[in-house]
Structure 1
Amino acid sequence: MSKAFSAIGEERDVERDEFTPGIEPQPTWCPGCGDFGVLKALKGAMAELGKDPEEVLLCTGIGCSGKLNSYFESYGFHTIHGRSLPVARAAKVANHDLEVVAAGGDGDGYGIGGNHFTHSARENHDMTYIVFNNEVFGLTKGQTSPTSPKGHKSKTQPHGNAKDPVRPLSMSLSAGASYIARTAAVNPNQAQEIIVEAIEHDGFSHIDFLTQCPTWNKDAKQYVPYVDVQESDDYDFDVTDRREASEMMYETEDKLYEGTVLTGRYYQDSERNSYQAEKQQRGDMPDEPLAERYFDEDYEWERSYDLIDRHK
């Protein structure tokens, strides 16, 4: 049987430059944009993990972050606004050998795509979700976003934002994500380490990635100075304890708008089955990727009416 993805499972040394596309190698983000930091960290993480570009699928939404897969050499799917996660989930179900990464901005992920975010976390799909959080809508020129602080003035809120911002980390934990972290573009080493951990984690990994927008969000500046909660003596909590993680997340979300940027790993549950593992355990999903069946000329296709008992 021929393989759908010939590089999957192949062990070799991978260079970061292999993830730089030949067609559009130079990103066109604004100078100083934090999105460059995400791209650099993601390329470095894939190379560190030894992933071949053919082993990876990157699904993106709309906005500045949506250009990520144009600048990243792998399989890619540029979805509509807020819909990167359902496409990523479908791909993972069809081929669980594929390394699936979804990405979107704070408006894309916490706004229009918020429902997909909460249910992807609840179901614990084995994928990594990177949210570029710059507290503003950048591509549409500086409107208030779900993470914009209360009082923030913008084109859509000229007298100041009247709403409290969403709490991404707390929302992720309550929804059911099994790996949750926050990093920043100004901390490239930590960012790469966290992306590596998120990809290696078996379950839904959510990274709230602070990406400064010097063009449209002057208030956020560059998210510096930052504090790594794992390295600081001022913070001590157990990332495997849900209650302690929740308290640390709440403090982190409060302090961000007070000018203190806390980053690091916040929660990890390695005991819980991923969605794919749970379905396989129940006999609802085959061990071999469904995608491989398209390459098997001898496979006898099943139909839903053959698999489901009719009501009598």
Structure 2
Amino acid sequence: MSAFSAIGEGREIEQDEYTPGLEPQATWCPGCGDFGVLKALKGAAQELGKSPEEMLLTTGIGCSGKLNSYFDSYGFHTIHGRSLPVARAAKLANPGVEVIAAGGDGDGYGIGGNHFMHTARENHDMTYIVFNNEIFGLTKGQTSPTSPKGHKSKTQPHGSAKEPLRPLSLSLTSGASYVARTAAVNPNQAKEIIIEAMEHDGFAHIDFLTQCPTWNKDARQYVPYIDVNESDDYDFDPTDRREASEMMTETEEALHEGKVLTGRFYVDEDRPSYGQEKRAIGEMPEEPLAERYFDDDYEWERSADLFLDKHK
């Protein structure tokens, strides 16, 4: 018997299948950009034909953490900043599952920043969506890692003296093989980017600009936006690491000057994922580890035995 018989069954999916019966209506604040993430994710999953049983959505703490309450699939609501390690373990145990991790800018770039860097470095095969509203929203408006210099908040009443973190550049230098930025005000592009990220074999990072009308009223609403891949004003090769880095630097500097640049900034289709690397050197089995729970004939191993045998 297979624990994952729904994977790859190829049936037609209706978008309302991703709407949970227990909590069908999202309760984010009116005007919140998080609604745009949910809509884009549902549209992407439907277009790719992914059933709820084929997907795992892990989230951290914050407004973004409610995403898997409003998206009906396998889900794991982790503690603050820890959506990525849970997602990594799940993908390694069962490569057939479509794994998506999500978190806010404070959750993903601050508290979970170490996991972000190393998940990118190892190129784990998953999609990571970071809701970037440049503020800690759920805890009522504190300065976050992406808040612009000079931004006043409860924790920085005289204005932040720190330059904001540059998530696109950090992602690239850490080793992500797909890096993109989109915005809640651009739902069509957002859906297309999530589709590409889910199809990508490797770590796909999406910096998703989500306006916060409640706790970050001073922030721009990320309009008008410019798609750097479509605009004649920007000419760069997203498969060229140096050109991608230069475009990211320009993008991150322009955001707080009133120009919102979105699009695909870096794509490396040739680099193998972490799981592929581990299977190639024989350190991971080809079959999903989770299947072993349903195999009565499987002889279980203990990793400790590998060490104990060396000392006998």
Instruction: Report the TM-score range of the alignment, normalised by the length of the smaller protein.
Output: over 0.9
Tell me, yes or no, if the aligned pair for 1:101 and 1:129 is still in contact at 8 Å: yes
Q: Tell me the equivalent position of 1:158.
A: 157
**Over residues 46-82 of structure 1, what are the superposed CA-to-partner deviations in whole Å (9 max), with x where a residue is unaligned?**
0000001000000000000000000000000000000
Q: Tell me the equivalent position of 2:142.
A: 143
**Over residues 224-282 of structure 1, what are the superposed CA-to-partner deviations in whole Å (9 max), with x where a residue is unaligned?**
00000011000010010000000000000000000000000000111000000000000
**Over residues 4-38 of structure 1, what are the superposed CA-to-partner deviations in whole Å (9 max), with x where a residue is unaligned?**
12210110111111100000000000000000000
Q: Tell me the equivalent position of 2:85.
A: 86
Q: Tell me the equivalent position of 1:68.
A: 67
CA distance in structure 2 between the aligned counterparts of 1:284 and 1:43, rounded to whole angstroms = 35
Tell me, yes or no, if the aligned pair for 1:78 and 1:84 is still in contact at 8 Å: yes
CA distance in structure 1 between the aligned counterparts of 2:93 and 2:200, rounded to whole angstroms = 19
Identity %: 81
Q: Tell me the equivalent position of 2:22.
A: 23
User: How is 1:127-206 mapped onto 2 (pairs within 5 angstroms)?
Assistant: 127-206=126-205
CA distance in structure 2 between the aligned counterparts of 1:238 and 1:150, rounded to whole angstroms = 30
Name the aligned partner's letter for residue 86 of structure 2: V
CA distance in structure 2 between the aligned counterparts of 1:243 and 1:148, rounded to whole angstroms = 26
User: How is 1:136-285 mapped onto 2 (pairs within 5 angstroms)?
Assistant: 136-285=135-284
Name the aligned partner's letter for residue 24 of structure 1: E
CA distance in structure 1 between the aligned counterparts of 2:25 and 2:132, rounded to whole angstroms = 22
CA displacement at 1:307 relative to structure 2: 4.4
CA distance in structure 1 between the aligned counterparts of 2:306 and 2:4, rounded to whole angstroms = 28
Name the aligned partner's letter for residue 246 of structure 2: E
SS of alignment partner, residue 137 of structure 1:
coil
CA displacement at 1:294 relative to structure 2: 0.5
User: How is 1:289-304 mapped onto 2 (pairs within 5 angstroms)?
Assistant: 289-304=288-303
CA distance in structure 2 between the aligned counterparts of 1:311 and 1:127, rounded to whole angstroms = 38
Q: Tell me the equivalent position of 2:123.
A: 124
Name the aligned partner's letter for residue 137 of structure 1: F
CA distance in structure 1 between the aligned counterparts of 2:61 and 2:305, rounded to whole angstroms = 40
Tell me, yes or no, if the aligned pair for 1:132 and 1:209 is still in contact at 8 Å: yes
Q: Tell me the equivalent position of 2:97.
A: 98
CA distance in structure 2 between the aligned counterparts of 1:53 and 1:79, rounded to whole angstroms = 19
Tell me, yes or no, if the aligned pair for 1:149 and 1:257 is still in contact at 8 Å: yes
CA distance in structure 1 between the aligned counterparts of 2:302 and 2:139, rounded to whole angstroms = 45
CA displacement at 1:221 relative to structure 2: 3.2
The TM-score normalised by the length of structure 1 is 0.98
For structure 2, the 5+ residue unaligned runs are none
CA distance in structure 1 between the aligned counterparts of 2:205 and 2:52, rounded to whole angstroms = 22
